[in-house]
Amino acid sequence: MSLEVRTIGDPDLPDWIRAMHTGFLRPPTVTKEEIETRRAGTDLERAQGAFDAEQCVGTFRSFPQRITVPGGAAVAASAVSNVTVSATHRRRGLLSRMMEHDLRAARDRGEVAATLLASEWLIYGRYGFGPAAWVSEWEVDVARAGLDKRYAGPADGGRVDFVDAETVRRLGPALHERLRAVRHGVVDRTERWWRLATGDIPQPGMPAWTEPYYALYRSPEGSVDGLVSYTCDEVWDGKRPQNTATVHGLIAVSTEAERALWHFLLSVDWVTKVASGFRAPDDILPLLLPDPRAAKLTLHSDYLWLRPLDVPALLEARTYACPGSLVLDVTDPGGHAGGRFLLEVDPGGTSCTPSKRPAELSLGVAELASLYLGDESAVRLATLGRLDEERTGAAQRAELMLRTARRPWCPDHF
């Protein structure tokens, strides 16, 4: 019998979840509670399954997302998640069929890009995705950091207070929206996101919920400018504490808030190490320490991948570091976003329109994805042979226009 790829319905959901667990190497058991929880958060019209007879052997879903681009505007994206193909059915084109259906539907809906977090590097480039934002993680040796051990609170007159999960659900969304307005790469969070992240909605099939510590930073004026959640282990060696505080999330809209929350974490009694969680590669954490070498880099990796679906809409949405113009010839084997485009940036605004002018830069849609949020270097891609400079100096001009002072950062897993 031929393999079928189709949108799933309610009767398919238990088998779909089982196939997803199998693909992610999790126990293939499915409970009634998990079915109910996932059904409440899944738009079945955007969920696909690959079926061999009655058995689900592949999973795929997407959901609407808003992602902030350089300059603070947000664009509509299709966030791809829960992608699996069972080991018994690899190399049969199932992912290609599900991906093509979703990208075509996203373009029809007016979503100008697709996003995902890639489990493996080699899979998604062939579908036009490119790494657009990276993450780094540090482990800080508290004793070596050199901070004042007499720390008694923020020096700026603000304060840090422990709060409960209900307070986080009440105050966290507004804080996150303030961050999203100024930091490119940040994606929106729904009410359901906050309920899941704070244990208000159980997540069957996942490790048992452990309530973290939550702490808010309030400015001297009383505004909530920072939030951190973290857990601590309990390790002792010969009556000496060797505990690690692991950060699960830290967002802040001011340097004062960020400094206060890191200093707070590094001053907790019995904590000898702090694991930072996923941060932007240019995060200020190491340089907040008197001895930056106390922060050991433990991870540096690609994270958020982007797939352009509407090049003019994307390029007109963001801002640029300087005026200029570029003629880009974009190749898209998938047929969704290719073409030749004239990008013009001046003090009066930005336009990106189809053009018949000679190309100045020729590149694939995945390379455009890596350049779009300002993280990658056009000069470096040209050196690698991943884009062609058709006019001398065009790569350097693209570098000056597209790069951003801060690197993009996506703090969320999806």
Q: Which of the following is catalytic: 51, 60, 124, 230?
A: 124
How many other C-beta atoms are found inside a 10 Å radius of the C-beta of residue 252?
21
Whether the CB-CB separation of 340 and 375 falls below 8 Å is answered with no
Report helix, strand or coil for 412.
Answer: coil
Residue with tokens 């890009």: 113
* Residue 124 is among the residues annotated as catalytic for this protein: yes
CA-to-CA distance for 33 and 298, rounded, in angstroms?
36
Is 217 among the residues known to form the active site? no
In this structure, is the dihedral angle defined by the CA atoms of residues 395, 67, 96 and 193, taken in order, positive or negative? Answer: positive
User: 2: buried, middle or exposed (CB in 10 Å: 19+, 13-18, 0-12)?
Assistant: exposed
Query: C-alpha 18: how far from its chain's center?
Result: 26
What is the C-alpha separation between 196 and 211, in angstroms, rounded? 12
**Nearest CA among 227, 190, 192, 222 for reference residue 212:** 227
Choice among 24, 63, 213, 414 that is catalytic: 414
β-pairing verdict for 74-85 and 113-117 = parallel
- Name the 3-class secondary structure at 108: helix
Tokens of 249: 């999330």
- Taking the CA atoms of residue 106, residue 107, residue 112 and residue 117 in that order, the dihedral angle to the nearest 10 degrees is 40
* Residues labelled as active-site residues: 124, 414
